[in-house]
Amino acid sequence: MEKVKLGPQTFVFPMPAFLIGADVEKRANFMTAAWSGIACSEPPMISVAIRHPRYTLKGIEENMTFSVNVPSVDQAKEVDYCGIVSGAKTDKTMVCKFKVFYGKLKTAPMVQQCPVNLECKVEHTLDLGSHVLVIGKIEEVYVSGSCFTGEHPDVNKIRPLLWTTMPANVYQGLGDVVAKAFKVGLELK
Amino acid sequence: MEKVKLGPQTFVFPMPAFLIGADVEKRANFMTAAWSGIACSEPPMISVAIRHPRYTLKGIEENMTFSVNVPSVDQAKEVDYCGIVSGAKTDKTMVCKFKVFYGKLKTAPMVQQCPVNLECKVEHTLDLGSHVLVIGKIEEVYVSGSCFTGEHPDVNKIRPLLWTTMPANVYQGLGDVVAKAFKVGLELK
């Protein structure tokens, strides 16, 4: 199984398709981001990489707050739109008919229709080149009541969206369960 | 659609299931990590959050290099094992029968059986609390020749692994294509 070198590039799977929310000039704005990951558990933190000129970044730096909204597969159209259009020229919230709500941080707008919302406070920003890595403390997590099974949230009801490239730029859903974690590996012990 | 508050925690979907490689005390070691995301495009960078006591972190700090290996769904057993067992007491490479190769950085071990391998050089480390956020420059990307369709890598042949929680801790595959990116959103324009 020979390996082919692609050169230095951002080539990795899977990637999420999140909507990052910020108030910019006192208006709720949302941009699409695939470059995000959990950064710490105690305290809970998440990172998101944002290009310098992005309108959303302006709002994050203004208020030092932002949100990470996990869309469902039903929201691919809105997610794609928020990745194509800049909030500097368009009220994306209005076009997408997002119902916006705020939590305790007051300035991190969240999308009611997205099944999961993380309300974040900026802890660090790191200028890495083309992108600023924004690292936020997760201050609160909101999950839609309709995505619970009994007392717990259920990923099968959240139905999160993924972003993949190669052979084409597409949004995908979660696939079948392959194995149980903390279990299948015990066979090798 | 009312929202339920979960409190501050690391609750987000989707998450990857990567194998992070490092030479520790001159031996190749691999740990499982779900907390990782692209951090920059020019230059290409990736972040991974690692708990302080992890054996792999010792190797990363020793050599200032590491690898991110993207396993396929066929490797769930090995991925789970590498998340359960510490390399301090076991030669995980031997148990998992990983064929290890090295690239230009010389000290970032990579798993031949994983379809995608990123060879990384540490650019920043950020102590965030329970975890250190390691940010690496992607120096080279290796893709298995068998995962190409024509001239390009094909995610349908890579078949990456995902980690989900709630209702259960499981590994999942990629699901169906939901929509075309940079296209479906144009309907809202």
**pLDDT per position as a tens digit, B102-151:** 999 999 999 999 999 999 999 999 999 999 999 999 999 999 999 999 99
Closest CA to A141 of A177, A90, A104, A168: A104
User: If you ran DSSP here, which 8-state letter would residue B60 be given?
Assistant: H
**From residue B137, how far is each of A8, A46, A130, B45, B68 by CA, in Å?**
8, 19, 13, 4, 11
At A189 the pLDDT is: 86
The partner residue sitting opposite A171, judged by closest CB among B6, B84, B181, is B181
Please indicate whether, in this complex, the C-beta atoms of B5 and A176 are within 8 angstroms of each other. no
Q: Is B89 exposed, middle or buried (0-12, 13-18, 19+ CB in 10 A)?
A: exposed
Mean pLDDT confidence for B13-35: 97
Please indicate whether, in this complex, the C-beta atoms of B141 and A39 are within 8 angstroms of each other. no
User: In chain B, what residues touch A112 (CB-CB under 8 Å)?
Assistant: 1, 3
Residue whose tokens read 């995505």: A147
**Dmax of chain B from CA atoms?**
57
User: From the CA of A157, how many Å to the nearest CA of chain B?
Assistant: 10
User: In chain A, what residues touch B133 (CB-CB under 8 Å)?
Assistant: 39-40, 47, 135
Q: How far apart are alpha carbons A40 and B4 in whole angstroms?
A: 23
User: From the CA of A126, how many Å to the nearest CA of chain B?
Assistant: 9
User: From the CA of B103, how many Å to the nearest CA of chain A?
Assistant: 10
Query: For chain A, how many helices (H) and strands (E)?
Result: 4, 15
Please indicate whether, in this complex, the C-beta atoms of A39 and B35 are within 8 angstroms of each other. yes
Mean pLDDT of chain B: 96
Q: How far apart are alpha carbons B117 and B112 in whole angstroms?
A: 8
Mean pLDDT of chain A: 96
Q: Residue type for B34, please?
A: A
- In this predicted model, what pLDDT tens digit does every residue of A135-147 receive, in sequence order? 999 999 999 999 9
Please indicate whether, in this complex, the C-beta atoms of A118 and B187 are within 8 angstroms of each other. no
Closest CA to A57 of A125, A139, A119: A125
Q: How far apart are alpha carbons A92 and A81 in whole angstroms?
A: 8
Q: What percent of chain B clears pLDDT 70, i.e. is strictly above it?
A: 99
Please indicate whether, in this complex, the C-beta atoms of B76 and A46 are within 8 angstroms of each other. no
Please indicate whether, in this complex, the C-beta atoms of A172 and B178 are within 8 angstroms of each other. yes
Residues of chain A with pLDDT under 70: 1
Under 8 Å CB pairs connecting chains A and B tally to 380
Please indicate whether, in this complex, the C-beta atoms of B128 and A145 are within 8 angstroms of each other. no
Q: Residue type for B93, please?
A: T
Residue of B nearest to A83 (CA): B182
